A and B are shown apart, each in its own frame.
Chain A
């Protein structure tokens, strides 16, 4: 016959269903005749249910958006180094600190011997000024072309990320009051275009959108035209946002 103390020793394994069938049966039999242990078992099961419920301690949507933005900023900077040769950028940067995951691969591997001193490697550019000028020009033209290729003007509904799902079918009904409320709570703002695609604004776009929301006298129908420098990874790099007439309204 099991006692209360033995029951409590077995409680965790009973909850995790890691007791052998005979021990589990003995524990349950004890609980059926002991009100205290039955209460401890029932409340522990309820507690584990709450802790395992993904709605509790959930990542707020705004935090998820911030995380993505910060990662994009960092990873864009790390990309050429990290990916080009399949070598982690930390190694290329000298690998300061220890590996947080205790990996068995050593950090800070040497990047190979450099037989040419830094000053000598760059000296040839100054010896050939025409080459240097041509290189600068090429870089400028390539940069400008890339910038122009990414520039875009798009129209759609100014809406927050949370309500973009709820109002997907009728975004014109989304009220400005709701928009203000969601913006105040820190939910990311963005553009829901006519194809139903939602793209978040970058930090400048968020600021511009908030200014538009604050100034408008509309109560809904927040159709806007956005001039963006580029759109990548679902984020609009906003230059300007203007409130415009929704399609179908004269």
Chain B
């Protein structure tokens, strides 16, 4: 049995204990998934306070709706779906109009084709430090359209598979791949402005 399958089985066991009234088993699930959920919630909402609220609300909703989770999907997939919807609602509440069209090619100077093809400076972690790298990444993510941030958050930050990302976003695998390519190229372009050599 693979590690991933073992985790899923363990999740099911914990969920059974939660259903039987063992609240501590629920906290075990919380500690298992709070970090990956926070990381993607932060990438989507772009605010640490909002991300924290999203994670809290996600677990509360999951607990309340546990009877509806039938185990057809992985528990993490189900949780992430709740987190995504919660983050979207929060963004909508905070910013009004949320969605930019992703179907039309963007005509900004940060189009799909990379313009900045310089090599990045050597060992940026050593030159900038981890915190500064994180800040630069955060800034770069902030500028991405919401639909691109979501796909990057699930696939590249939470490290879900393309198939899981597609299920959660309700997209085809091909569509996820297209968005992912565009999102990564845009993100790389934004980072290149900070990290390009010379």
Interface residues of A (CB under 8 A from B): 5, 8-9, 11-13, 15-16, 18, 35-37, 39-40, 42-44, 46-48, 50-52, 54-60, 63-64, 66-68, 70-71, 74-75, 78-79, 82-84, 86-91, 99-105, 107, 233
The B110-141 residues at the A interface (CB cut-off 8 A) are: 112-114, 117-120, 124, 130, 133-134, 137-138
Separation in Å of the A214 CB from the closest CB of chain B? 26
Residues of chain A within 8 A (CB-CB) of B43 are 57
Check if A101 sits within 8 Å of B180, measured CB to CB: no
State which of A47, A71, A82, A86 has its C-beta within 8 Å of the C-beta of B184: A47
Check if A86 sits within 8 Å of B181, measured CB to CB: no
State which of B34, B59, B67 has its C-beta within 8 Å of the C-beta of A59: B34
Q: Count A/B pairs, Cβ under 8 Å.
A: 164
Query: Is B157 an interface residue, CB under 8 A from the partner?
Result: yes
Separation in Å of the A122 CB from the closest CB of chain B? 28
Residues of chain B within 8 A (CB-CB) of A48 are 156, 184
Residues of chain B within 8 A (CB-CB) of A86 are 19, 67
Contact residues of B: prevailing secondary structure: helix
Separation in Å of the A9 CB from the closest CB of chain B? 7
Q: Closest residue to B37 on the A side, CB-wise?
A: A59
State which of A15, A60, A100 has its C-beta within 8 Å of the C-beta of B61: A100
Interface size on B, residues (CB 8 A): 64
The CA of A39 and the CA of B117, in the complex, are separated in Å by 6
Which residue of A42, A55, A67 has the most chain B CB atoms within 10 A of its CB atom?
A67
Residues of chain A within 8 A (CB-CB) of B188 are 40, 43-44, 47
Separation in Å of the B95 CB from the closest CB of chain A? 19
Contact residues of A: prevailing secondary structure: helix
Residues of chain A within 8 A (CB-CB) of B63 are 75, 78, 82
| Proximity string of chain B (1-43) to chain A, C-beta cutoff 8 Å, 1 when within and 0 when not | 0000000000000000001110110110011001100110011
Q: Closest residue to B69 on the A side, CB-wise?
A: A103
Interface residues of B (CB under 8 A from A): 19-21, 23-24, 26-27, 30-31, 34-35, 38-39, 42-43, 48, 52, 55-56, 59-70, 78, 81-82, 85-86, 112-114, 117-120, 124, 130, 133-134, 137-138, 152, 156-157, 159, 162, 177, 180-181, 184-185, 187-188, 191-192, 195
The CA of A89 and the CA of B63, in the complex, are separated in Å by 9
Check if B23 sits within 8 Å of A79, measured CB to CB: yes
Q: Closest residue to B72 on the A side, CB-wise?
A: A104
Check if B134 sits within 8 Å of A51, measured CB to CB: no
The CA of A211 and the CA of B195, in the complex, are separated in Å by 46
Q: List 19 A-B contacts (CB under 8 A).
A: A8-B181, A11-B185, A12-B181, A40-B114, A43-B188, A43-B192, A47-B184, A57-B137, A64-B31, A71-B59, A74-B60, A83-B20, A99-B65, A100-B61, A100-B86, A101-B62, A101-B78, A102-B81, A105-B67
Q: Closest residue to A13 on the B side, CB-wise?
A: B177
Check if A42 sits within 8 Å of B119, measured CB to CB: yes
The CA of A86 and the CA of B157, in the complex, are separated in Å by 34
Q: Closest residue to A87 on the B side, CB-wise?
A: B67
Check if B68 sits within 8 Å of A71, measured CB to CB: no
